[in-house]
Amino acid sequence: MERKLRVGILFGGKSAEHEVSLQSAKNIFDAIDREKYEPILIGIDKSGRWLLNDESNFLLNANDPKRIRLNTSSDAVALVPQSKGTISNLSALKNGSANNSAIDVIFPVLHGPFGEDGTVQGLLKLADIPFVGSGVLASAVGMDKDVMKRLLRDAGLPIGKFRSLRADDDVPSYEEVSSELGSPVFIKPANMGSSVGVSKVKKQRDYLPALRDAFEYDTKAVIEEFIPGRELECSVLGGNEIMASIPGEVKSRHEFYSYNAKYIDKKGAELIIPAKVPVETIQRVQELAIAVFKTLCCDGLARVDFFLKEDGNIIVNEINTMPGFTKISMYPKLWEVSGMSYTQLIDKLIGFALERFEKDRQLKTSL
């Protein structure tokens, strides 16, 4: 009998999206094909400790998005450079004994900074282990909305007007911003996801508080024009051959598609899958999603978000290089409607990770 591949599900993390990652990990753990894979749960707590979790109790309040928590009463472990997937028990290392677990591939279902931004991807490359998703470059530029938008703009892809602002820059007045971008505007941390730290600003009095809120999460903020229209999302999957799913539509019942609307309020948004749009709109969204994926040098998976204006024009909003895998997440739902089950999707992603790793091994690293 062929040995099962040991898949390390890496989840949690120091990001503000920690709880979203816990939900994603639970769904992947529940859906992964147990005949092919042996899942190994590696939770990262909010202080950054890596913990080897027992599958029977790795989450507390697992079915309540408001109260879900990582069980931190587990052994601390470490992944070191050139370990080729060996996860080492820290207590054993301190005592001079060996107590290690070898893993064949990592599925880093981490969202936001310290996980989706290239940091963990760099560690996994140094550890010489295959991993699901984009590499260091695409992860970093996909997370940074300022850099991402510059690259998309230079590639000739349709994006909205924006400007970036660093925490130590002189703050432009709301009159200056609104004359350039219109009113209202969205203010966001440049490096964050799930609408954390995002504000929709309609009035002068809300402008500085919104900037302060964004700078709580990053040293750079992005100010974007408000684009009226329908919100469409498209899932992308692939390595050498890239595929785009049927698009879906998000109708938020909040002021905008906020963190609460996405993950806490069960009635916070209506997900329309597939989106009720003309065939030519579906095709254009798919073409643009693949173009964004290629422009940013992505690999494995991503979700690309769009605005569909009343005149039919489509504007690229942003990319998410490690989209959510929760029960209400668009990424797996869109593939399910497109004919690929959750289990098949996980299998595909692991396959792409292993293929890329084998190709990279053929490259020269020295003369």
pLDDT in tens, 127-151: 999 999 999 999 999 999 999 999 9
pLDDT in tens, 104-133: 999 999 998 899 999 999 999 999 999 999
pLDDT in tens, 304-345: 999 999 999 999 999 999 999 987 889 999 999 999 999 999
Mean pLDDT over 42-61 rounds to 91
Mean pLDDT (the chain, rounded) = 90
Whether the CB-CB separation of 12 and 3 falls below 8 Å is answered with no
- pTM for the model stands at 0.91
Q: Which CATH number fits domain 5-131: 3.40.50.300, 3.40.50.150, 3.40.50.20, 3.30.420.10?
A: 3.40.50.20
Identify the residue with better confidence: 190 or 252.
190
Burial code (b: 16+ CB inside 10 Å, e: under 16) for 152-186 equals beeeeeebbebbbbeeeeeeeebeebbeebebbbb
pLDDT in tens, 215-245: 999 999 999 999 999 999 999 999 889 999 9
CA distances (Å), origin 274, targets 214, 244, 345, 348: 33, 13, 18, 22
Helix (H, G, I), strand (E, B) or coil at 268: coil
Whether the CB-CB separation of 43 and 58 falls below 8 Å is answered with yes
Mean pLDDT over 172-180 rounds to 97
Would you give the DSSP letter of residue 171? P
For residue 201, pLDDT over 90 is answered with yes
Q: Under CATH, which architecture does the 162-225 domain have?
A: 2-Layer Sandwich (3.30)
Helix (H, G, I), strand (E, B) or coil at 251: strand
**Number of helical H runs and strand E runs in the chain:** 11, 19
Return the C-alpha torsion angle 58, 6, 19, 141, nearest 10: 160
In terms of Cα–Cα distance, which of 174, 181, 218 is closest to 196?
218
Structural class in CATH, domain 141-158+228-356: alpha beta
Mean pLDDT over 272-290 rounds to 97
Note the pLDDT of residue 21. 94
Q: Where in the chain is the domain with CATH 3.40.50.20?
A: 5-131
Mean pLDDT over 9-16 rounds to 92
| Percent of the chain clearing pLDDT 70 (strictly above) | 92
